[in-house]
A and B are shown apart, each in its own frame.
Chain A
């Protein structure tokens, strides 16, 4: 079971490595969206520092959302998804492997890059560790819920807009607690409560989403 999972992770990562530009896309998108806000609002430090946490989190939400396409689409198109579903392995293992790949490509780079973009938005330095940590706990939850959306729209044409309609409402609690944690850290308040809620959401997502995405993949396979 574990070897099946690692085999898929290795295969998908190798596929992504072949087109390194694809790996950089979510990251560039993230930086680009963040850069739009000073241009759209004002370059003033006092204003930007207040909204910095919200901007970084919203940009992270959108970046992980746009990367959801890589989860199942290519495998569905070339028929290998059907083969993987017929393998004598539980489907949720496949989902989990795909989610890990998605997070390694879209979530982890954002976590690593977030201090840089946050300081460009004048987020107080003492809030930076909290921002990184909240993203570290929050982005896997985004990938997990995103997997359900991506699994539901396999086989649907022009699914880009549809998937955001399905997934974004589910992202709202993560956004609220993530920005709440950073805001609390900026004011010097304790943040462990927020992070505990985010960790609880991650565990909860781990319990329900692989099952739901696996079911959705099997339903999508009926089409055709």
Chain B
């Protein structure tokens, strides 16, 4: 990738490439994200569960939105995040970027699984069955399959740097395909099940309904930031255990 070599990126970009720098940086940033996540999520939960009005059609089962939608958003954006981190690693040959991508995989997969589970649980009072081949649920299921593929490939290759590169390529191809998959599934769905009642397509939600949702989404982003940093720092400790700075850090 020679044409990238002449790019001059900001200094922090190159600093981030150093495992030691990232380890310290994460340690400094983590408390902020943890605090923000704690405040936002508990604020959103209390508001959503106690104060938000019930939906006029779905009643109180509507409150599932406050965990379902953040989980779905996180699941999707973490796949993209993983692909971007992998691409950065491939282009600039940065080891830490692969570690970040690897740390994000399981987090994204667990949020996608949560979106599926809460979607199914929400489906029971709304549709009468736990599973309906609704467009959104189906594409979430396929997203989970994509995550499974990335995790399986990561597990199958013992060499960390090869695994990082291979999963980065798979994540990039997968994330390029996500819009196509989404489009085709939406289209398939309208063909086979005309105008079913979708869970979350409300044209206008009053602020007392959507502000708690917003709080939950931002809170979950902060939580994921904290978690991915923690997992990346673990990964750094694991892979850099031979280096002198790790020894110096752990001696005192």
Contacts and interface: CB of A to CB of B under 8 A. Distances in A.
A148 interface: yes
A173 B181 contact: yes
B173 A173 contact: no
B161 interface: yes
A152 B165 CA distance: 10
- Name A's interface SS: helix
A215 B169 contact: yes
B174 A169 contact: yes
A148 B177 contact: no
A212 B172 CA distance: 9
Interface string B138-153: 0000100110110011
Interface stretch (B7-15, B121-129, B182-190, B224-232): B182-190
B153 A152 contact: yes
A156 interface: yes
A168 interface: yes
A21 B140 CA distance: 40
B153 A162 contact: yes
Interface in A196-215: 201, 204, 208-209, 212, 215
Contact of B146 (A169, A173, A222): A169
A81 interface: no
A180 interface: yes
- Name B's interface SS: helix
Interface string B104-142: 000000000000000000000000000000000000001
Interface in A124-177: 145, 148, 152-153, 155-156, 159, 162, 165-166, 168-170, 172-173, 176-177
B27 to A, nearest CB: 31
Given A156-B157, A172-B181, A212-B169, A166 B187 contact: no
A203 B176 CA distance: 14
A150 to B, nearest CB: 12
A83 interface: no
Contact of B149 (A166, A173, A219): A166
A180 B173 CA distance: 24
A3 interface: no
Contacts of B183: 173
A215 B165 CA distance: 9
Contacts of A35: none
Contacts of A180: 187-188, 191
B199 interface: no
B170 interface: yes
B5 interface: no
B16 interface: no
B36 interface: no
A208 B188 CA distance: 25
Contacts of B185: 172, 176
Contact of B145 (A153, A168, A219): A168
A117 interface: no
A51 interface: no
A109 interface: no
A183 B142 CA distance: 23
B157 A169 contact: no
A112 to B, nearest CB: 26
Max count, chain B CB within 10 A of own CB: residue among A159, A219, A220, A223: A219
Q: Which 9 A-B pairs have the closest CB atoms?
A: A173-B184, A169-B145, A219-B165, A166-B149, A176-B184, A176-B188, A165-B149, A156-B156, A223-B162
25 contacts: A162-B153, A165-B145, A166-B149, A169-B146, A169-B149, A169-B177, A169-B181, A170-B177, A172-B181, A172-B184, A172-B185, A173-B177, A176-B185, A180-B187, A208-B176, A212-B169, A212-B172, A215-B90, A216-B169, A219-B162, A220-B162, A220-B166, A222-B159, A222-B162, A222-B165
Interface of B: 90, 142, 145-146, 148-149, 152-153, 156-157, 159, 161-162, 165-166, 169-170, 172-174, 176-177, 180-181, 183-185, 187-188, 191
